[in-house]
Structure 1
């Protein structure tokens, strides 16, 4: 049961993950939020392959994974982990489905604030809600634009989230949680504002799958 719970939470972490970096903030917070808004508002859809690494507080690698993601704003997300084991996270705008084929189990969560404050779902949500819920800092690093978000509320899955942009394209997410665990996600084969079939964001529960619905 403990292993099952760990893997269930790892599924949401895959949809959420990113390794947090702390940057100095020479740009005023309002200006940083405005710059981030300029990057995100034109983003209607996003498709990419990803590689993810999870590190402990001392920098030792705990886990790695790779897969593909699709998002469409507002509120639609599909996050598929291909290796080392398959997991799927789908948001249809109302509910989030966390599916583990090996366990033949799907967990369903409503799109409440706790779930929508995971990093990947943040990207598919409202830009105004994002900038109202986080302090935003900006820094340039080797020509990339780095935006670091610090939650105003304590009820989030991370303490810091950084988004790295090459010009107008999101290339990396970095996150640190309250335990010091850090996660990095690097994107490749990126398509901004391409056509994504709406059916990508539907999830049909396979026959014989155990269904767990987490109530608010």
Structure 2
């Protein structure tokens, strides 16, 4: 099964949010102040995909590690193992079940709405409406996109959940626990088997 960019970007949303370091509005300024306190983070996550009526479509558990500016390790452990991580200028997605790794150019993935969460460019931030309601930060694209809204909830300065509302009505929510702000470099290493099938989506290949 190939890993398309839309699927990958949905996975990246849960991690890219921690790499935000820009100030263009009051709500964004508050987010910047929270994120600026730490350069790395790790946590356990429970992911749930629900329909608009609240019906749970799928659930998964795993671990997440991030270090600014662009180191990411997202390791889903159950019900099926999957690994998403950055390496240099590339993003790797490995599925042990089919023993296949898909490789993307990181710069190509940043042409998505998630660029908002990793960029300090005013022209990117201006494409979104950012508000804070009842303690929840809401980021809405001004133009039609696959993502309808991204919502961030906090427990003090710790981010507790990330919800991605999609145009198809589904909501992808990551609940985080056990947050730590010291992450060793080896947390971002993963050895892919030499016999793994390679699906190279990089434009240079």
Name the TM tier (shorter chain): 0.7 to 0.9
Q: CA deviation at 1:11?
A: 5.8
Q: In the alignment, which residue of structure 2 is the partner of 1:56?
A: 51
CA distance in 2, matches of 1:44, 1:34: 17
TM-score between both structures, scaled by the size of structure 1: 0.77
Task: Note if contact 2:2-2:199 (Cα within 8 Å) is conserved in structure 1.
Answer: no
Among candidates 129, 142, 145, match of residue 135 of structure 1: 129
Cα deviation, 1:12-61, whole Å, max 9, x if unaligned, reads: 5344359xxxxxxxxxx821121121122223111000101001233221
- Alpha-carbon distance change, 85 to 118 in structure 1, aligned in 2, over 3 angstroms: farther
2:81 is matched with which residue: 82, 86, 89?
86
8 A Cα contact 2:49 2:173, kept in partner:
yes
SS at match of 2:10: helix
Mapped contact 2:160–2:177 kept (Cα < 8 A): yes
Distance 1:178 1:149, change over 3 A: same
CA drift of 1:205 comes to 2.8
Question: Quick one: structure 1 residues 39 and 160, their matched pair in 2 at CA, closer, same or farther if it must change by over 3 Å?
Answer: same
Q: Does 1:146 find its partner at 2:115?
A: no
Distance 1:76 1:5 in 2: 23
Displacement over 6 Å in runs of 4+: 6-9
Q: TM-score, normalised by structure 2?
A: 0.81
Q: Name the count of aligned residue pairs.
A: 194
Deviations 1:42-88 (A, max 9, x none): 23111000101001233221100001000001011100011000000
Partner of 1:25: none
Gaps spanning 5+ residues in structure 2: where? 16-23
Cα deviation, residue 118, structure 1: 7.0
Aligned to 2:18: none
